[in-house]
Amino acid sequence: MYDNIVTKEFYPIWKKYKPVILKLMIDSLEGTPQEYKLSKHEFTDVNSRKNASCSFKLELFKGKSTKLTKPAVIATDLITMMKQSAKATELMNEYIFNISLDSSFTLTVASRGVEAE
């Protein structure tokens, strides 16, 4: 079904962490940012650009990045994985999520409601 989806080296890692990410998204709805320490070696072992940073900041709404014009590959693979999840898609349609990965490989997920226009 998803054979023609273009993904890069980080997609399998994000797919592995999908249950954790969904839990972080749901728990963040209570108003407190959620954090989870990822395994650095998983990302550095597959990173084809050895000197490239793995850190990123995203603001997602309706499955799209609202702040960055062209997110890094590591972030686009995360977005691709999330769009394939019915629950993540449902959440992203109702809330804005700020997701970041820092240089110590701590993933942070925060959410806020969409204000009426």
* pLDDT tens series, the chain, 117 aa: 344 455 588 999 999 999 999 999 999 999 999 999 999 889 888 876 666 678 899 999 888 887 755 668 888 899 999 999 999 999 999 999 999 999 899 999 999 987 643
Which residue from 4, 9, 21 is spatially nearest to 97, judged by alpha carbons?
Answer: 21
| Count of structural domains, the chain | 1
pTM of the model: 0.85
In a domain, 1, yes or no: no
Round to whole Å and give the CA distance between 91 and 104.
27
Q: What's the domain range around 24? A: 11-112
In a domain, 117, yes or no: no
In a domain, 55, yes or no: yes
Determine contact, residues 99/58, Cβ cutoff 8 Å: yes
In a domain, 42, yes or no: yes
Round to whole Å and give the CA distance between 97 and 92.
7
Instruction: Output the DSSP codes for 13-40.
Output: HHHHTHHHHHHHHHHHTTSS-EEEE--H
